[in-house]
Structure 1
Amino acid sequence: MVGVVTLALGLGLGIGLSCAACPGPKPASTSSPTPSSKASIIQPSVGTTWDYPLGFPLTTSNVNSSTVFYPVDLENTSANTIAALKSAGHTVVCYFSAGSVEDYREDAGDFPAAAIGNTLDGWPDEKWLDIRNAKVREVMATRIASAASKGCVGVDPDNIDGYTNNPGFDLTEDDTVDYVQYLAKMAHDAGLAYGLKNAGAIVDRVVDVAQWAINEECAEYEECADWAPFVKAGKPVFHVEYTKDDDATSVSASKLAKACAADGQSGFSSIIKHYSLDDWIIYC
């Protein structure tokens, strides 16, 4: 992988999966995932190595052979690329935003106007969604079915915690828990694993339906202990901290220590990335 910096500070390679080679099912309808045996749903091990390559196209020519878990963009990653990465031994899951509409997505026009809320802070082409809306949920079920048909073994739905922001709707924590449970059921019915993205306040309420968690910057905000229930349950926490400079080629010793050894972080799969999520990484 171009620009990779590896610091061997202790996590190591966690390859154990309950069904790493199981392909995703191919549902007949893109809006109603075909039920599948839950025995086929993968469960990554605590400590599994990972990267978050959402800012560049991941291929077998630039993938790190020793890194196991890779979320890739659902819309922009082909089934052939996913198959090649899986054949090379990687666990590939599909990323999409479940709580916002991005203007540039192919299905952006499928969301009803009444379900589109305020613009996300810092993301002018992205708006919050009313996650209670039936049509919004239908679009997400279609995306999950697409992830299965492309061969991803799990999904990484982002922006499910709109209630903690200013979405333009009177969303609550209970709404988010209900939505996570819905997304997890749709994923599991399609034979896919489900990962919780951020939303530390609801970890205790949804850890049982998720196979992993992805957290951004819990060390920066001193919140890593919120995700400890995943590790206790034998499920990995894929944790990323960001540099302030997207041109950085290294980090200070203090930044490294904070990112890789924060309180409550024991057992996490921790990395440091540029905010752009380009092909640069430091492994803890």
Structure 2
Amino acid sequence: MTSTAATGTATTTATAARVVDAVKVYGRGDTRVRALDGVSVGFPAGRFTAIMGPSGSGKSTLMHCAAGLDTLTSGSALIGDTDLSTLDDRGLTLLRRERVGFVFQTFNLIPTLTVAENITLPMDLAGAARDDEWYDALIDVVGLRDRLHHRPGELSGGQQQRVAVARAFAGSPDVVFADEPTGNLDSRSGEEVLRLLSGTVRRTNRTVVMVTHDPVAAAHADEVVFLADGRLVDRMTDPTAERVLDRLKAFDTRTTSGSLSPEPRS
């Protein structure tokens, strides 16, 4: 399989987001933790990528740094061709508002606003004009047309996460980052949200990068990126829950034996 990881500072128009030689260190001295250890990986535009790994592998750190929510100790993080390290705080805020969408485990909806108002809130705060054609199509994709005037407290957990997904896509971002988006949902609602994310990628040619610990969730992605001990150790295209689980078990075995060299890629 050909890797989409970028090298150097070359332009990669088919990559929505990427990190190059990414290192992230927390703490000092005895408390020093190297959360990312020289990771280079690209997330293809128009694709759904899942990031997996055991607890402490660096998967959430990778997502936060790639999305501009955290800064790298060294290396580069890029959205499209924009190197995030070249932006000041205001520039980062504008980039996250205009080019990046977020879906979190907690829905982060404003309880006093309606569904429609929650969806358009980022654009309203930015003073951006709404693309009515895109908004109308998005409402149909997420299946919320009969809930637009309801408030979050009148919705189920799955419906609230659908609102969060719609809000993330509403501004037509270059990439949507989802951090354990089904973590607070039952299995049925979680499945609906995962189908929504994958379906939105395919119907609208948008890009989603999702952190998850669940092989069933990862199976909805086009590709899975595996981390262990802050390093990229493998990638899998066309994943199934069974293959992902087998790969994770293999990493556990190799971690115990002290070897983390990747298996043959598929």
TM-score (norm 2): 0.40
* Greater helix proportion: 2
